[in-house]
């Protein structure tokens, strides 16, 4: 039997999603440990999108295989009892044997949060990027719109990226500001390594009025990472959702 799960986590104290050597705390390691207890056999999980150290998830999607028969409620609450406070199972669904959390995803969305205040916040420092300089939101949005659609995103690709192609199709980049919190929502058919954080770092140069919105089009056309802005810090980034044809999550 193959099961899909929705997972929420606070990435602050994890060394990313992916399992690493013994003693390194990862989200995958904690989830596999908890699921193995409930299933009463070793479990290996696969996720929709691996996240780096410090990155959070609102609804990561994973799958695993098991012979154990449990109710959905038992999987959820049994796992959560055995998980630390900073990772949580939200739901469980039985899926077809050919379902794969990563390869069957037709799109993914991320959210990035920026606190635009003169004074930093102790309470939200692990969950937002603090930007003390004033952001011109209209220029920020104008620059973001340039990136919507299908493009070669080589200029926004991390050097460790293993994707076969840099061509991705961004469906939308929605930017909203409420009081001092800027929220960026971005949905694409797929993402390159560090793509969202590199986009945010580039847009911030426009928002801070260091560059004009048209500069983003130049960066896109260069197809070279060295021309874009810096990689934005991980704590403001959230894996928001993965989309599938035959999975209602």
222-242 in b/e burial notation, b at 16+ Cβ within 10 A?
A: eeebeebbebbbbbbbbbbbb
Using the structure block, give the residue that is written with the tokens 């800027």: 182
User: Is-catalytic flag, 52?
Assistant: yes
178-199 in b/e burial notation, b at 16+ Cβ within 10 A?
A: eeeebbbbbbbebbbbbbbbbb
115-124 in b/e burial notation, b at 16+ Cβ within 10 A?
A: bbeeeeeeee
Give the tokens for residue 100.
């794969």
- Determine the Cα–Cα distance for residues 242 and 225; give it in Å rounded to an integer: 26
Task: Give the active site residue among 52, 97, 98, 176.
Answer: 52
- Determine the Cα–Cα distance for residues 152 and 107; give it in Å rounded to an integer: 17
Catalytic residue ranges: 52
């Amino acid at each position: 039997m193959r099961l899909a799960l929705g997972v929420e986590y606070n990435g602050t104290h994890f060394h990313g999603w992916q399992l690493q050597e013994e003693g390194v705390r990862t989200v995958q390691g904690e989830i596999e440990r908890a699921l193995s207890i409930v299933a009463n056999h070793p479990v290996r999980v696969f996720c929709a999108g691996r996240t780096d150290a410090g990155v959070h998830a609102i609804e990561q999607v994973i799958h695993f295989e098991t012979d154990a028969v449990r109710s959905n409620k038992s999987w959820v609450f049994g796992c959560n009892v055995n998980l630390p406070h900073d990772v949580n199972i939200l739901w469980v669904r039985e899926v077809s044997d050919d379902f794969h959390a990563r390869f069957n995803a037709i799109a993914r969305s991320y959210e990035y949060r920026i606190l635009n205040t003169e004074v930093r916040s102790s309470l939200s420092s692990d969950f937002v990027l603090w930007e003390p300089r004033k952001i011109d939101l209209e220029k920020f949005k104008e620059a973001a719109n340039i990136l919507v659609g299908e493009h070669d995103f080589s200029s926004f690709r991390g050097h460790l990226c293993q994707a076969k192609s840099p061509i991705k199709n961004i469906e939308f980049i929605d930017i909203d500001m409420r009081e001092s919190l800027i929220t960026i929502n971005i949905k694409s058919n797929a993402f390159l390594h560090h793509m969202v954080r590199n986009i945010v770092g580039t847009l911030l140069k426009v928002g801070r009025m260091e560059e004009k919105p048209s500069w983003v089009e130049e960066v896109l056309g260069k197809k070279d990472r060295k021309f874009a802005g810096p990689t934005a810090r991980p704590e403001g980034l959230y894996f928001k959702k993965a989309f599938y044809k035959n999975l209602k999550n």
